[in-house]
């Protein structure tokens, strides 16, 4: 680890030492940060928000797409999700999806970019799309019910991913 922390400074002057690695690169200006984080929310949804929308009365206004293989789908998936593996999107999306309805993609979890690849493929075909952050891993870890080839299951929520004594995390 490099402990020589410097911040950018005016041309011709010596770099000012940064107080720590977090501030080695200064934070963005508030307007730039607002634009970035606003855009991020246009592209992403978290599992709690997806679960809440699906649990509500009526149509949530979007469809959830599981982009994994059939073996992965059988192992567990979000109830009501459509199974559409990423590789099959170009040939099957139009038969399964309505371009007027936004799509939320998911794959295994944060270490997998399959949902991102699927979201890109769908966007290139003209669909409005968001990626569900955390994927199936966080769906199960947060204690939401899921379906397997054997039926429905629910695991206890992981206290590192979901509030234990409250209905929501407050964020």
Give pLDDT tens digits for 73-82.
999 999 999 9
Say whether pTM exceeds 0.85: no
pLDDT the model gives residue 159: 85
- How confident is residue 167, by pLDDT bands cut at 50, 70 and 90? low
Distance from the Cα of residue 160 to its chain's centroid: 17
What pLDDT score does 52 carry?
94
Spatial distance between the Cα atoms of 63 and 105, rounded to a whole number of angstroms: 9
Give the pLDDT score at 4.
46
pLDDT at 1 (0 to 100): 45
- Edge-to-edge strands, sheet with 129-133: 44-46, 129-133, 103-106, 63-66, 82-83
* More reliable by pLDDT, 148 or 10: 148
Q: How far is CA 34 from CA 16, 83, 87, 106, 128, in A?
A: 27, 35, 35, 26, 22
- Residue 85: its pLDDT value, please? 97
């Amino acid at each position: 680890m490099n402990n020589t922390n410097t911040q950018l400074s005016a041309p011709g002057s010596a770099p000012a030492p940064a107080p720590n690695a977090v501030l080695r690169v200064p934070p963005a200006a508030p307007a730039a940060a607002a634009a970035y984080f606003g855009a991020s929310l246009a592209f992403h949804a978290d599992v709690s928000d997806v679960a809440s929308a699906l649990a509500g009365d009526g149509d949530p206004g979007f469809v959830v797409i599981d982009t994994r293989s059939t073996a992965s789908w059988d192992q567990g998936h979000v109830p009501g999700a459509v199974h559409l593996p990423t590789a099959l999107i170009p040939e099957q999306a139009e038969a399964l999806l309505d371009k007027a309805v936004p799509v939320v993609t998911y794959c295994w979890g944060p270490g997998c970019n399959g949902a991102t690849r699927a979201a890109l493929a769908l966007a290139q075909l003209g669909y409005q799309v968001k990626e569900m952050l955390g994927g199936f891993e966080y769906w199960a870890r947060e204690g939401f019910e899921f379906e397997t080839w054997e039926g429905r299951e629910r695991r206890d929520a992981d206290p590192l991913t979901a509030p234990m004594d409250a209905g929501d995390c407050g964020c």
